Structure 1
C-alpha cells in the first residue's frame, strides 16, 4: 500500500486509535495495521523523531508521551476529542537479575512503565472510550504475565500486575460499551532485548539465536483482528508464541 493510500484509509472510518510506545516494534507495527484498517492513529512515544516520521507515513498524528509522567499523560489526553481504541503497548524490561541481586531502580522503572503507565493512560482515556459507544482497550502484556522464570522476577511481577489490572477492569466495565483484550506474546524480535540488556546488541541477538521468533507484524495483525470484531464480541485474552517456544522456560533451537 502506498503512503497516499494509507493516508486515505486512515480517515475512512472516522474512528481514532491511540497507540502508546509507538516508536518501534509492536507499537509501530500496530499503528500501521490500524491505519490500513481505516483508523486515524494517534501515536505516543518519547522518541518524537520516529513517531513524527511514522505519522507522516500513515496519515496519523504524533505527540510526545511519557507514560511515567502524569503531566505528559494529561497533556496527551487533553488533545483528544474522540478515542475508539486504546492500545496500551508502552512497557519493557531491564536486566536479568536474581531476586537476591535485584536492582531496585530497574524494578521501579519496570513497575512504573508497565503497570502505573498503563493505569494512567487507561484512566485518562476511559471517559472517551465509553463515550465512543464501542470502545476497545488492548493491553499488551506477555506470557510473563502468566508464568515466572528464574532471574525475571522484576519483569514477570510487573507484567502479572499489569495483567491483573486489565482483567479487573474487564469486570468493572461490564455494562459499558467497552471491550477489553489482553495480548500475551511470547518471544518477539524487537528492541525489547536491546533495552533489557542496556544496548548490548550481541547479548540481545543471542536471545533469538537458533529459532524463529514472532515478528512485531505478527502481533500487530492479531491486535488489528481484535479491533475488527463486532461490538458484541470480546476476545478476552490471546496468547501467541513462536512454534519453537512452549513456554517462558522451554524452546527448541537449531533443529
Structure 2
C-alpha cells in the first residue's frame, strides 16, 4: 500500500466506500474542489480507475479488517484535513420474525464498527490538521420501518457514535458533521440489499420521477466541507422532493 502523495498547498481528504455510488461521486466532487483525495474501498480495480480519473490515490481497505484499517491510516500519514466515512450497506428487508441475523451483524460491522475503526485510526491526523469528519448515515436512522429493523438500527447506532464523537472532540478544533440522505438511486445500493435481484430493487424507486442521485449527495458533502472553519453542520438531511418523509413518497402510477 503506497502512501498518499504530498502537496502542502492542497488539503487531503479520505473517502471510504469510494468504489461506487455516493463514495465515488464524493471523491470526484472533492477533487474538483481542490482536495487531494485518497479513495479507499475493497475493490482495488475500481478505486484505481477512479483515482486515475481525479488525480487521487487508491488504497484498498476493508473497514472491518483491523490490519487493513491500520495500514490505511499509516498510508494517509500524520495530517488529514477531511474524512468522509461513507462505507456502508443495507442487506435484506425481512421482518424481525424472519431476520437473517448474519446480515444484521454484517450491517453493524460495516456501518458502525467500520466507521468507528477508521475514525479512531486517523483521528490523530485529523486533530493535527484541525480537520473535519463527515459521516454518511441515512434517514433510516430517524425512525424504524417495516423490514428495516437491522439497517435502521445500524444507522441509528452510527448516528449515536457521531453525536458522541462531537461531544468528545469539542475542544480539539475538529468539526463533526452527519449527512442523512433519503431516497437515493445508485447502481448498486438496492440491488445489493436484495441480493442481486434487480427487479425487486427497481420497485423501490417505482413511480418516483426523480429520486436523489449520488451526485446530489456529493454536492452536500462539498458544501458541508466548504463551510468556514468556525461553522459546523451538525446534521444535514437531504431527500428528493417526492419524499416528504421516510414513509411518505409520491409515486406516479399508470
The bucket for the TM-score relative to the shorter chain is over 0.9
Distance in 1 (alpha carbons) for counterparts of 2:9 and 2:161: 30
* CA RMSD in angstroms, aligned pairs only: 1.3
Q: TM-score, normalised by structure 1?
A: 0.94
Residue equivalent to 1:22: 18
Secondary structure of 2:229's partner?
Answer: coil
Any stretches of 5+ residues in structure 1 without a counterpart? Answer: 1-9
Do the aligned partners of 1:11 and 1:39 also contact (CA within 8 Å) in 2? no
Where do residues 232-247 of structure 1 align in structure 2 (5 Å cutoff)?
232-247=230-245
Residue equivalent to 2:120: 123
C-alpha spacing 1:184/1:31, structure 2 compared with 1 (3 Å) = same
The C-alpha deviation readout for 1:126-180, integer Å capped at 9, x for no partner, is 10000002x1100000001111101110000000000000011111111111001
Residue equivalent to 1:6: none
Distance in 1 (alpha carbons) for counterparts of 2:165 and 2:192: 29
**Residue range with higher mean Cα deviation, 16-25 or 72-81:** 72-81
Residue of structure 2 aligned with 1:143, choices 139, 144, 152: 139
Residue equivalent to 1:178: 174
What is the CA-CA distance between 1:12 and the residue it aligns to?
A: 8.5
Q: TM-score, normalised by structure 2?
A: 0.94
Secondary structure of 1:100's partner?
Answer: helix
Counterpart check, 1:43 vs 2:35: no
Where do residues 159-198 of structure 1 align in structure 2 (5 Å cutoff)?
159-190=155-186, 191-198=188-195
Any stretches of 5+ residues in structure 2 without a counterpart? Answer: 1-5
Distance in 2 (alpha carbons) for counterparts of 1:38 and 1:154: 37
Distance in 1 (alpha carbons) for counterparts of 2:222 and 2:235: 14
